[in-house]
Structure 1
């Protein structure tokens, strides 16, 4: 049923047809955006799963090595060895645009390029297990940073997918059907008005003919 505020005029009909064309074009673009976002979201989810498994395994290995190091070294010596780290890490955060979604992009750099600077102690009084633990944490750090980036990207993309889905549904189930109904209503009214006008013209013509020829049926 057409809305009560619809004026059955040709100008309104033209306006609604243009609006319907725009709505249908927007509906297609939003559907394409939703589908592409879903594809990229699923890729990110798979990447997130693989990264999380790698990070959890690496952290488990590092924790195991730390426990072995603690078992083979006095607590005071272990604490002293880790008291003054030589290496520093600086993290930078940026963004990249994926289908109008600003997802994070993390990067990092170390204070020095020397890979041995991760060890803040001499090797004379420490165990190899401590070296393994430090090296494990150093190697897993980039994956942890990437995991944080991918997980946040998944959250943002999921929110955008839901928002786009609502817009698609609003166009598909509310706006477009309403416009189509209103267009049909105005077209019907204009056709009725045109038929009424034709009937009136025919009657006027008959009256004029009667008057001109002075006859009656």
Structure 2
């Protein structure tokens, strides 16, 4: 149903036709964006699931190694060995744009370039099981950061998909049908006014012809 606030003029009709063209083009672009977001979102979800399984398995293995190391060492020696960490990791957060969504990108930078520089204790009073536990945690750290990155990316893309879906629905079910109804309403009104004008002109013409005919009869 056409809006009662629409003014049935040719200028308004031209404006609504331009609006309809823009809305139709925007609807197509938003649908394409939504479909591409969904595709990339599903890829991220699959990657996230694989990373989560890998990280959970790595943490489980590291905990198992620490339990074994704790069984072969006293609690005081273990606490002393891990009290002062030797290596430090700096986290740098960047961004990359995916379909107008700013997704975080995590990069790490260690204090020293040596990947084996992770043991903060001497090897004389500790067991090799502790070395394996520390190494397993160090190995799983990049995957943990990648997991955090993909989970945040999934959250942001899900939010953008929802916003895009609402915009597509608003265009498809509200704006475009309403504009089409208004165009039909104005077109009908303009056609009606044109027919009325033609009828009035025909009546005026008939009156003029009749007056001219009577005038000629009087002249005769």
Settle same-fold status: TM greater than 0.5. Answer: yes
Deviation at 1:116, TM superposition (A): 2.2
Aligned length: 216
What TM-score do you get using the length of structure 1 for normalisation? Answer: 0.97
- Name the CA distance, whole Å, in 2 between partners of 1:153 and 1:68: 36
Aligned partner of 1:207 in structure 2 is 207
- Name the CA distance, whole Å, in 2 between partners of 1:7 and 1:78: 83
Q: Which moved more, 1:172-181 or 1:108-117?
A: 108-117
Q: Secondary structure in 1 aligned to 2:83?
A: coil
Aligned partner of 1:141 in structure 2 is 141
- Name the CA distance, whole Å, in 2 between partners of 1:198 and 1:23: 35
Q: Secondary structure in 1 aligned to 2:117?
A: helix
Aligned partner of 1:88 in structure 2 is 88
Are 1:108 and 2:108 counterparts? yes
1:133-191 per-position Cα deviation (integer Å, ceiling 9, x unaligned) = 10100000000000000000000000000000000000000000000000000000111
1:39-66 per-position Cα deviation (integer Å, ceiling 9, x unaligned) = 0000000000000000000000000000
- Name the CA distance, whole Å, in 1 between partners of 2:20 and 2:170: 13
Q: Secondary structure in 2 aligned to 1:117?
A: coil
Are 1:131 and 2:122 counterparts? no
- Name the CA distance, whole Å, in 1 between partners of 2:64 and 2:201: 98
Pairwise CA RMSD of aligned residues?
Answer: 1.1
Deviation at 1:105, TM superposition (A): 0.5
Aligned partner of 1:97 in structure 2 is 97
- Name the CA distance, whole Å, in 1 between partners of 2:90 and 2:145: 12
Q: Mind listing any 5+ residue stretches in structure 1 that lack a counterpart? A: none
Are 1:6 and 2:6 counterparts? yes
Deviation at 1:122, TM superposition (A): 1.3
Deviation at 1:129, TM superposition (A): 1.1
Q: Secondary structure in 1 aligned to 2:116?
A: helix
Q: Which moved more, 1:32-41 or 1:111-120?
A: 111-120
- Name the CA distance, whole Å, in 1 between partners of 2:138 and 2:146: 14
Aligned partner of 2:17 in structure 1 is 17
Deviation at 1:212, TM superposition (A): 1.0
Aligned partner of 2:172 in structure 1 is 172
Q: Secondary structure in 2 aligned to 1:78?
A: helix
- Name the CA distance, whole Å, in 2 between partners of 1:129 and 1:205: 110
Q: Mind listing any 5+ residue stretches in structure 2 that lack a counterpart? A: none
Aligned partner of 1:151 in structure 2 is 151
What TM-score do you get using the length of structure 2 for normalisation? Answer: 0.96
Aligned partner of 2:55 in structure 1 is 55
- Name the CA distance, whole Å, in 2 between partners of 1:67 and 1:100: 46
Q: Secondary structure in 2 aligned to 1:132?
A: helix
Q: Secondary structure in 2 aligned to 1:166?
A: helix
- Name the CA distance, whole Å, in 2 between partners of 1:94 and 1:146: 13
1:95-128 per-position Cα deviation (integer Å, ceiling 9, x unaligned) = 1111111110000010001122101111111111
Deviation at 1:5, TM superposition (A): 0.6
- Name the CA distance, whole Å, in 1 between partners of 2:151 and 2:116: 31
